[in-house]
């Protein structure tokens, strides 16, 4: 291990950090909506298969590279394949999480605004126009974006152990408690059952190839794959830790949270008698509308639940944004010799600027288009449809075809000392080497064609 390099205190701490990266906006707004639209329980089955047979091998590939080198994404490639073009993979995975961080923190900023609103005046009748009016403003969203980024950077600059590990150790259990409380409340609303059946009624006729591709894409995004966050966090794991059980734990927590979020959100949506909408509209328009309506009957209860709900979103978004920020900071510290504090400031400056452009692309800059999309949409599309899939493809190719099989085996079985992992190595290796590249390539081409 590089001299002076920090590491997570325990395996549990590493899982909490990785699960914190995984659990985020993707679980709260995208997953519940996708399940309902794409065949309910049938979609959940496809998603489960994608998560464990495709995403988990990709996650393990990143983990293997990270833990084998104890380095940032760039340094990892330089250590394992010095002087080759693989350094571009290291470079790409420094850039892509920072692009995600830029627009992600804009949405994180909206959540802060809504949390403040929930705790302040609460949501009232004008709520239906609230979101539309808010995001086009130049200053307020920008200030919230700045605040969200500052919180992210503050945690990261405090260090791996006393910043990231400490924050996740508190946040992750808190997130689960909060979402379960909201779910219990939501399930007890009159008419909630329609939401449950929306999520669970299996409809296999909805499972088309494009739905399968969408399930896989969602799984990549949700598990933070292909952009170096898992690699970087794994590089802080000790050699004695079990990579397979950490990866499995991360995937399981991520899935569990997405399912609970579905049962927290959809029953409330149906109880209010509205059609669930997609994307930001669901959490920033539909739910405040529900809170406003409930407010008439039970003001304090509605107020409390709305505060808890937006608090959950802010924390979930923070645990993810912290992981993106750390990729850039680790690179600047280890490859460019910056102090952690200065590196954090540099990441702040760069992502603040791009994020500001993303934020303004809803208002003053809405006329600026890149390849037919606004700046925000372009950054989102570029990263989630291309860079994450491309990065994932390169990672599995690297581990499956470039790294010596013995190095991979050593990392996966801790030098042969984990009998369970020794038995699993064959199937995992097969998935990494053959299955994952072919499937990812198919998704990539599908995205390009469509």
Q: State the residues that interact with ligand PHE by CB under 6 A.
A: 21-22, 24-27, 97, 100, 221-222, 224, 227, 229, 320, 323-324
Name the residue nearer to ligand PHE (CB basis): 237 or 271. 237
DSSP E strands in 202-270: the ranges are none
Burial of 159 (0-12, 13-18, 19+ CB in 10 A): middle
Task: Look up residue 177 and give its two tokens.
Answer: 């408690």
CB of 34 to ligand PHE, least distance (A): 12
> Are 344 and 156 a contacting pair, CB within 8 Å?
yes
Name the residue nearer to ligand PHE (CB basis): 225 or 436. 225
Residue indicated by tokens 């540099």: 346
Cα dihedral 255, 281, 131, 289 sign: negative
User: Whose CA is closest to 388, among 26, 69, 145?
Assistant: 26
Name the residue nearer to ligand PHE (CB basis): 25 or 71. 25
CA torsion angle 70 75 80 83 (round to 10): -170
CB of 217 to ligand PHE, least distance (A): 12
CB of 119 to ligand PHE, least distance (A): 23
Name the residue nearer to ligand PHE (CB basis): 26 or 276. 26
Cβ atoms < 10 Å from Cβ of 302? 20
CB of 321 to ligand PHE, least distance (A): 7
Name the residue nearer to ligand PHE (CB basis): 294 or 354. 354
CB of 327 to ligand PHE, least distance (A): 8
Q: Count the residues in the chain.
A: 450
Which residue has the closest beta carbon to ligand PHE? 24
CB of 204 to ligand PHE, least distance (A): 26
Could you please report the per-residue DSSP string of 357-376? HHHHTTTTTTT--BTTB-HH
SS3 343: helix
Name the residue nearer to ligand PHE (CB basis): 69 or 218. 218
Name the residue nearer to ligand PHE (CB basis): 127 or 215. 215
Task: Look up residue 104 and give its two tokens.
Answer: 């992600």
CB of 224 to ligand PHE, least distance (A): 3
């Amino acid at each position: 291990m590089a001299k002076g390099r920090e590491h997570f205190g325990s395996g549990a701490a590493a899982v909490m950090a990785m699960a914190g990266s995984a659990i985020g906006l993707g679980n709260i707004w995208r997953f519940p909506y996708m399940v309902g639209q794409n065949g309910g329980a049938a979609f959940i089955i496809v998603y489960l298969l994608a998560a464990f047979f495709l995403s988990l091998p990709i996650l393990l590939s990143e983990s293997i590279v990270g833990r084998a080198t104890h380095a940032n994404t760039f340094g990892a490639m330089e250590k394992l394949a010095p002087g080759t073009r693989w350094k571009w993979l290291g470079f790409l995975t420094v850039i892509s999480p920072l692009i995600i961080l830029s627009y992600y923190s804009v949405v994180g900023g909206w959540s802060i605004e809504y949390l403040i609103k929930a705790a302040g005046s609460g949501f009232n009748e004008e709520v239906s126009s609230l979101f539309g009016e808010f995001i086009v403003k130049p200053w307020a969203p920008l200030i919230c974006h700045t605040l969200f980024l500052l919180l992210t950077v503050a945690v990261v600059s405090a260090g791996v152990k006393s910043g990231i590990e400490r924050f996740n150790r508190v946040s992750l259990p808190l997130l689960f408690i909060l979402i379960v409380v909201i779910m219990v409340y939501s399930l007890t609303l009159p008419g909630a059952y329609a939401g449950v059946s929306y999520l669970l009624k299996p409809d296999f006729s909805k499972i088309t190839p494009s739905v399968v591709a969408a399930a896989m894409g969602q799984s990549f995004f949700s598990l933070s794959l292909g952009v170096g966050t898992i690699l970087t966090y794994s590089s802080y794991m000790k050699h004695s830790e079990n990579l397979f059980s950490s990866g499995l734990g991360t995937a399981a927590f991520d899935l569990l949270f997405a399912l609970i979020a579905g049962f927290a959100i959809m029953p409330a949506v149906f109880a209010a008698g509205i059609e669930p909408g997609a994307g930001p509209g669901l959490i920033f328009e539909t739910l405040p509308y529900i809170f406003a309506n409930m407010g008439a009957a039970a003001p304090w209860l509605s107020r409390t639940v709305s505060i808890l709900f937006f608090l959950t979103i802010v924390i979930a978004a923070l645990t993810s944004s912290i992981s993106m920020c750390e990729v850039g900071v680790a690179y600047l510290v280890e490859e460019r010799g910056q102090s952690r504090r200065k590196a954090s400031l540099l990441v702040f400056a760069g992502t603040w600027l791009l994020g500001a452009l993303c934020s303004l692309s809803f208002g003053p800059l809405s006329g600026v288009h890149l390849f037919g999309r606004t700046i925000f949409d372009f950054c989102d599309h570029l990263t989630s449809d291309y860079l994450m899939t491309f990065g994932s493809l390169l990672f599995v190719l690297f581990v499956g075809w470039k790294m010596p099989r013995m190095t991979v085996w050593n990392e996966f079985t801790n030098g042969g000392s984990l009998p369970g992992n020794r038995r699993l190595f064959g199937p995992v290796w097969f998935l990494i080497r053959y299955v994952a590249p072919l499937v990812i390539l198919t998704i990539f081409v599908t995205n390009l064609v469509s």
